[in-house]
Amino acid sequence: MKNKTVKLTVCLLTFLAPIAQASDEVKHIPGFFIGTTHFDSETEFTFGVEYEYKFTQDWGAGVVFERTNDAHHGDGTAVALASLYYHPTKSIRLGVGYGEERIGGSHPHNEDLYRISSAYDFHIGDFGIAPTIAVDFIDDEEAIVVGLAITRPF
């Protein structure tokens, strides 16, 4: 799972490098996420970490790792994906991503995952607080991820 995500991140970085501009606008944006995932009539607690590198004021790429311990009737899931982000304003972040969902339990397996996401970042001092919603497409099903990301850009 990590190998595909790393390869996709490297491809995104390579593709976007030519549009990068040398300016003070380039930022590292690490953060953590807490929220819920609704899938197959279940809503479970979700937590994770994320990282974005902004190439320009408008574009960035990053990775997301999330864990939902009680998903799939207690088997648990882990999600790892690489995303491309567009920032139409200073506070709005729109994303598309690709990765894998690993389902645990007695028959663990991986499934491809596609994600679209949206967040609105409230700036409080050196921190960001971003209500976030994402839709994960896994096979012919959808999972809705809703929560709050706490970031510390530098």
Integer CA distances (angstroms), 112 to 90, 98, 102, 147, 148, in order: 31, 8, 9, 22, 24
- Class of CATH domain 28-151: mainly beta
Mean pLDDT check: name the lowest of 10-19, 102-111, 126-135: 10-19
What tokens does 154 get?
Answer: 């530098």
In the chain, the amino acid numbered 63 is: V
pLDDT digits (tens, 9 = 90+) for 121-142: 999 998 999 999 999 999 999 9
- Average confidence score pLDDT of the chain: 88
Mean pLDDT check: name the lowest of 1-5, 17-21, 39-43: 17-21
pLDDT digits (tens, 9 = 90+) for 78-92: 999 999 999 999 999
Query: Do 130 and 148 touch, CB atoms closer than 8 A?
Result: yes
Domain boundaries of the chain, sorted by first residue: 28-151
